[in-house]
Homo-oligomer: A and B are copies of this chain.
Amino acid sequence: MKISKLVGDRFKERPSDCVIDSHALMIRGGYMKYVANGIFSLYTPTKRIVRKVEQIIREEMDKIDGQEVLFPVALPASLWEESGRLESVGNELLRFTDRNKNPMVLGMTHEEAAVQLVREYGQTYSKYPFMIYQIQTKFRDEARPRAGLIRVREFTMKDAYSFHTSQEDLEQYYDRCLKAYDRIFERAGIPEVVTVAADSGMMGGSISHEYMLLTPVGEDSLAICSACDYKSNMEAAKSIVSNDNKLPLAELELVATPNASTIEDVAKFLKVPMENTCKAVVYQKHATGQYVIAFLSGDLDISESKLQNVIGEDISAAVIEEDSGIVAGFIGPNGLSDDIQIVYDESIKGVNNLVVGANKVDYHYTGFNADRDLDEIKYVDVAKVTEGGICPVCGKPALTLSRGIEVGNIFQLGTKYSESMDMKYVDEDGESKAPIMGCYGIGVGRLVASVCEASHDDYGPIWPMAIAPWQVHVCCLRVDDEECKNYADGLYAKLQDVNAEVIYDDRKIRPGAMFSDADLLGVPIRVVVSPRNMKESCVEIVTRDKKITKQVNLDDAVSEIQALIVELNTI
């Protein structure tokens, strides 16, 4: 391919709406174009990368006995009704009606479609286990698409579904899939991706993991133990608080705390440590509007997703009405309306002496002790873990907080879909049972953007050989120099003859402009043909990451380049 014919514009200025480098570079490099909020068209370089990534995924899925299928993008809403998700999933599920007024949805994940496809096939135990997967367009009507291909509304995804007759079999397969994912990320050029424990969210099921590329620009917060192997999404990381008693047991006492409506103000005013204050956080249930109040240690933050899992339904930040009896800034556990659902975090368990709100403006109680002052209460974990917090596995105060981009996820779904959708098989002993499912996703576009995020410099992406849009970028610095041009033309032809993937720049432009375009395209091997080199009967070979720079003899160029392609394509 000649770069003069490559459709798409490359330019220098960083677009002002790009918050992360990969987004900016992929816009600047002519990789994609904005069509609508969270919706992009992809130009040829991206499409070439995507096809290579898809092929890597396909090979690894086939290796673990996956069978590639294709589910529809547009699905009848009735399928989602069967699983119960037509109701339970929010606005991200795009619902519409067709010309005959049939309710439909755009597939954002395909558990229902997978069960529908194999419901008849999987009627006897001998057919199990099996795994089916697809690589297909999905639509998720995200409220806040951002960061280019990282969070979009329309995206290509590999989603796989496995079916088993026992939990053990699922776990064995889950483990094979974990390893296949490791190979995929390694082959795609981001072996540094880590596996973290995850919250299953709307997918259902118990155990799930996410694959995270650690980067400060990631959307997800992670807790990683520096003393052991523990890694978890913050949403799923168990918060453990030592609850040391810094203050002695005391009597409950109503005290005036004028104008002290934040936890920091109260602690300062009463001269108690933050750990001896009790914070209240107010939410409302999405469906009914019922208030939910969580009490937790004043030095901790609430984890909204943990709280949502405890409540078992969608919640959102509360609007506190006059007649609710809730006194913002002074909320305490005593004397709240019975209509309010109250949740106690484990961080206040066993603390002798807490400051809590008195449900009265400008008043708090001191000396509060939950076990003593409240009827039998159940403590749950709804607090976020903290930097330096206690690791739930090794018990050391060694948690570190990081950020990451989720590049893949795997779930043990259990029988949520098979049971709700009435998929049954007859077991060896003649019993009818619901198969146990797992599901396994990778967003293709997000993976591509993540590789760019992990591997770039100020001038452009540095694509790994295995997924690069082209393998070799030939720059003819002086097309008006006949010797130069003839050699470059010949090299371009010869490289194509040996099936190298070449992009060739024979435009009459400044070397600087030529090199910035090459940087933006991020092709691993650059070959520079210039009059100066020609005089010495050689060309210059430079890798995009600058690790290799060498002059090679004109006659050896093709074989040297071929060898370098193999060398860089280690996986």
B residues near A67, Cβ cutoff 8 Å: 1, 5-7, 43-44
Interface stretch, picked from A94-102, A405-413, A479-487, A538-546, is A94-102
B residues near A33, Cβ cutoff 8 Å: 116-117
1/0 contact string of A17-54 vs chain B (CB within 8 Å):
00000000000000001011101111110111011000
* Copies of the chain in the assembly: 2
A511 is an interface residue with CB less than 8 A from chain B: no
Q: Which of A86-125 contact B (CB under 8 A)?
A: 91-92, 94, 96, 98-100, 102, 104, 106, 113, 116-118, 120-121
Contact in complex: B48, A70 (CB < 8 Å): no
Contact in complex: B70, A39 (CB < 8 Å): no
B residues near A69, Cβ cutoff 8 Å: 7, 41-44, 47
Contact check: which of B7, B68, B96 meets A94 at CB < 8 Å?
Answer: B96
A466 is an interface residue with CB less than 8 A from chain B: no
Q: Can you list 27 pairs linking A and B with CB atoms under 8 Å apart?
A: A5-B67, A5-B130, A7-B69, A7-B130, A8-B121, A9-B120, A35-B72, A35-B76, A35-B116, A36-B104, A37-B102, A39-B72, A39-B76, A41-B71, A41-B72, A43-B67, A43-B69, A43-B117, A47-B68, A47-B70, A47-B134, A72-B154, A73-B73, A73-B137, A74-B94, A74-B153, A74-B154
Contact check: which of B65, B70, B154 meets A73 at CB < 8 Å?
Answer: B154
Whether A42 touches B70, Cβ cut-off 8 Å, given contacts A35-B75, A35-B116, A118-B7, is yes
A256 is an interface residue with CB less than 8 A from chain B: no
Distance to closest chain B CB from A84 (angstroms): 19
Q: Taking chain A's interface residues, is the majority helix, strand, or loop, or is none over half, making it mixed?
A: mixed
Q: Which of A321-349 contact B (CB under 8 A)?
A: none
A243 is an interface residue with CB less than 8 A from chain B: no
B residues near A121, Cβ cutoff 8 Å: 7-9
Distance to closest chain B CB from A61 (angstroms): 12
A533 is an interface residue with CB less than 8 A from chain B: no
1/0 contact string of A121-133 vs chain B (CB within 8 Å):
1000000001010
Distance to closest chain B CB from A506 (angstroms): 14
Contact in complex: A74, B106 (CB < 8 Å): yes
Contact in complex: A41, B65 (CB < 8 Å): no
Docked pose: A37 CA to B6 CA in angstroms: 41
Docked pose: A96 CA to B73 CA in angstroms: 15
Interface centre among A36, A44, A92 (most CB of B within 10 A): A36
Contact check: which of B98, B139, B143 meets A141 at CB < 8 Å?
Answer: B98
Distance to closest chain B CB from A420 (angstroms): 18
